[in-house]
Amino acid sequence: MTALKIGELAARLDVPAETIRYYEREGLLPQAQRTAGNYRLYDSALIERLTFIRNCRALDMTLNEIRALLVLRDGPDEECGGVNQLLDQHIKHVAERIAELQRLEHQLQLLRSRCSRSATMGHCAILNGLSAGDASIPAMTPSRPGL
C-alpha cells in the first residue's frame, strides 16, 4: 500500500498534477489525505478512481457524465441499467457529431471546388460563396462542449 505524492501519481497515469487538483476541487476525487507537510497522498483506491475518470475522458465524456457514472459506481448496488443508459446516450452524441461533421466536410469540399473551377475569374468564388445569404451552407447545431 504505497501511497503516492501528486507528482508520482501524475507521472504514473500521465495526468498533469494540476488536473488532479482540479478534479479534487470539482469533487470528482475526494479530498486527499495529507502528509505532515501538507502534501497530498494517493492510495490505490484513489489511483483507481483517477484511472476511471481518465478512461472516461479518453472516451470524450464530459465531467458531468463522469460524475453521474461515479455516483452509480459508488452506489451500494452497481446498477447496470443506469450505466447502460448513460453510455447509450453518449454513443448517440458521438454518432450525431460524426454525422454532422461529415455533412460539414461535404460542404467544405463543395466550397473548395469552386475556386479551382474559377481560377480565371477576377475574384475569388470561395469568398463570394461565403458572403452569400442563401441556404448553400447549412446551419450547424451547436456542438456540445468537448465534442
Partner DNA sequence: CAACACCTTGTAGTAGGTTTAAGGTCAAGC
Partner DNA sequence: GCTTGACCTTAAACCTACTACAAGGTGTTG
| Binding region for DNA (CB under 7 A) | 5-8, 10, 16-19, 21-22, 34-40, 57, 62-64, 142, 145-146
The C-alpha cell at 7 is 507528482
Residue 55 interacts with a copy of itself (CB under 8 A)? yes
Region at 28 (left for phi over 0; alpha for psi -120 to 50; beta for the rest)? alpha
Residue type, 106: H
End-to-end CA distance of the chain: 38
- Among the listed residues 5, 102, 117, 144, the single contact to a copy of itself using CB under 8 A: 102
CB-nearer residue toward a copy of itself: 34 or 101: 101
Residue type, 19: T
Nearest to 65 by CA among 75, 78, 56: 56
Interacting residues toward a copy of itself by CB under 8 A: 13-14, 48, 51-52, 55-60, 69, 72-73, 78-80, 83-84, 87-88, 90-91, 94-95, 97-98, 101-102, 104-105, 107-109, 111-112, 115, 119, 123-124, 126-127, 129-133, 137-140, 143, 146-147
